[in-house]
Chains A and B, each alone.
Chain A
């Protein structure tokens, strides 16, 4: 089936099998390998992207479901050669170690601040409930989100 999906501002048209997951469309068709696959069970959030302005797990969405839509991935966050403030904050606050969960964490955190610009610690932790990190213990991730929100 033919799909047209705008990714990070560029429209792509591709012929795909209906069973192709959006994450594989991004990684294998478009070579955007910043979006990771961390589980088989839709639980880890490593694959989180924004679809039509909403946070979604790209491993739990078919490319054909996203047809006609607009996707933003971690590669699309920077502007004019500058990292997104959330990316800067993760860097500053050491919100990552191996980095595998980081693209998903950042996409989730950006969506969180869009709906709640000044979250409490508790709201940040609840907001990140669907993102698993095996390295950091989350402490510095929460600190990064707070820093990006300017609520240090």
Chain B
């Protein structure tokens, strides 16, 4: 099963990648774990691939001030195993550790995952819940885009043609609690439903909450209604039931397929919200 023909170019630098990636029909190639499966099935036939995988400037994970900066080329396995990510963005380490299988995690990158924005992906949901920011670089210069403004629709982001994600910046979780709970498709391991919660708790009561859902929805989506149902409560069973109901009612656009129809995913979103809260409060 071969992809159709394409030119292959290896980027020598970030600037070179942007220049090559700006030409018509060009696509960046990072870990290839979304792109190559699509090319093999000929769902996508780019004229040229610009391989960015050897660009050291896009690698590495570091802590600066009160945030953790993850290079676009950091693999799921590197993120899952990083002491810095485990400390400052534990829900992201956990989500990356649940992506696909070990071989997928060795090759797939955070930048490629966010750029591709497969609705069944895990990292977009978590980056959104954690209030992450994407650092982008293109022929028009550099910009920083909040996750809220980055994911636009099914497989659609705010990236301009030829623009690269260079890094993802996640504010440190501090004293807040967080967790990602996922229902994995039994064959592909992609998310059927994934819910990430970030909770601030003081004096036994939830004072602040952020709830993001993916898998079930065309793009990673924040639910203010679910978060509001948690705030002010002691996160007891009644509050979790109310939040689960609020979440299911709040999702305007839920996808369905032969494996998991729309009403099932809608119901599971509530169930996985409860699981995420319980895991966060563990």
Contacts and interface: CB of A to CB of B under 8 A. Distances in A.
Interface of A: 1, 17-21, 24, 37, 40-43, 45, 48, 54-57, 59-62, 64-65, 108, 111-112, 127, 129-131
Nearest to B2: A19
A18 B37 contact: no
Contacts of A43: 187-188
Given A61-B107, A108-B103, A129-B101, A17 B33 contact: no
A107 to B, nearest CB: 9
A112 B102 CA distance: 9
Nearest to B184: A129
B58 interface: no
Given A18-B8, A40-B41, A61 B102 contact: no
24 contacts: A1-B8, A18-B5, A18-B6, A19-B2, A19-B3, A19-B4, A19-B6, A19-B39, A20-B2, A21-B40, A42-B37, A43-B188, A56-B106, A56-B107, A57-B104, A60-B32, A60-B33, A60-B36, A62-B8, A64-B51, A111-B102, A112-B102, A129-B102, A130-B102
Interface string B22-53: 00000001001100110111000000010101
Given A18-B8, A40-B40, A130-B189, 13 more contacts: A19-B4, A21-B2, A24-B2, A42-B33, A42-B104, A55-B102, A57-B107, A60-B37, A61-B32, A129-B102, A130-B100, A130-B104, A131-B101
Nearest to B107: A56
B225 to A, nearest CB: 34
A109 B128 CA distance: 35
B20 to A, nearest CB: 14
B258 interface: no
Contacts of B106: 54-56
A111 B103 CA distance: 10
A103 to B, nearest CB: 14
A37 B40 CA distance: 13
Size range of the interface on B? Answer: 20 to 34
B32 A130 contact: no
Contacts of B51: 64-65
Given A42-B36, A43-B188, A17 B5 contact: yes
B8 A108 contact: no
A28 to B, nearest CB: 11
B101 A62 contact: no
A11 B200 CA distance: 56
A65 B6 CA distance: 14
B104 A65 contact: no
A61 B36 contact: yes
B103 A48 contact: yes
A41 B189 CA distance: 13
A127 B8 CA distance: 33
Contacts of B103: 45, 48, 55-57, 60, 108, 130
